[in-house]
Structure 1
Amino acid sequence: MTDVTWKTLDLINEATQFLASREIENPRLETELLLAAALGIRRIDLYLQFERILQAGEVETFRAHVRQRLNGCPVQYITGEAGFRLLDLEVTPAVLIPRPETELLVEHALPLAEQGATTALDLCCGSGAIAISLATEATSLHVTGSDLSSEAIRVARRNRDRHDLNQRLHLVCGDLFAPLG
């Protein structure tokens, strides 16, 4: 049996066609996201490495990611990351993947901070996307995020720490308003 040697661009092209044939929406984008995750690099860095010859282990990791995707796992759970507004956030199956529509909520809340609001509450905060966006974009706000799931709070804490918001974003675990005293 002959081992196939893959260059980055060749694997991207082949996998894009494969995902398209399986009716995956945005096959090129998803291929790039999955390959970047498999290689441990940023997606943009793929473009600088089109001629790079991939190691067998890297190709196998990528193939495992593709199999997960074909089994219906969202690309964000496979890569462990989701974009939300200006942020890259960690996501796991313990939290919902932040939706683009939710970004509108942040857009509507930001003017309140400009008008003098000093606190914000994100109930059922999940990954912390809303709370972290508000704390990042409205530096006058002190934000509290609350979630019933202790695993969701752990994800939100890692995201809070990643964005250096320990001083202005407080996270609590409990049922709705109960942990707020």
Structure 2
Amino acid sequence: MVTQPQPVALLALLREGTRGTELLLGRKLRGFGQGNIVLPGGKIDPGESAQHAAMREFREETGVCVQSADLTFAARVTFTFPANPRANMDCAVFTARIASGMPVPSEELEPLWFPVGELPVRQMWEDSPLWLPALAAGERFTAKIILAADNLAVQSIDFEPWG
């Protein structure tokens, strides 16, 4: 039986800070990937659009509101876990530069700003440095990531820029 990947929406909020372009990430406080620094986001509910899910999850996890008009669909990233197919994900990734509210911790995430050139790669999933800098630089792409048997290491990545 083939397991369909879980539809997920992620949102990368960028701003110009004192140390250049900064990205709002979050330390995962519970669940899958606990302790890792991740992009805010989560599962797309049945009948919900990826765009709406990205805004909802971002607000729930960071306290920051982003309007649909300020979102850009920037990437499609799929994760295949051969050793655990039920963890497979198909992620719609959005970017934004305009938002309202200040980041506040939630039960899920502790929001943290990082300069794009100083991402905390040792605290992130191993795949993140392979595609997150391109996203932050404004590139649009599809990335297909296959994880190794340990469900952590990257076995392969197929990165295809759009247009």
Q: Give the alignment's TM-score, normalised by structure 2.
A: 0.27
Q: Which has the higher contact order (CA 8 A, sep 6+)?
A: 2
More helix by share: 1
Larger of the two Rg values belongs to structure = 1
Using structure 1 for the length normalisation, give the TM-score: 0.25
Compare the two structures and name the one with the higher strand fraction.
2
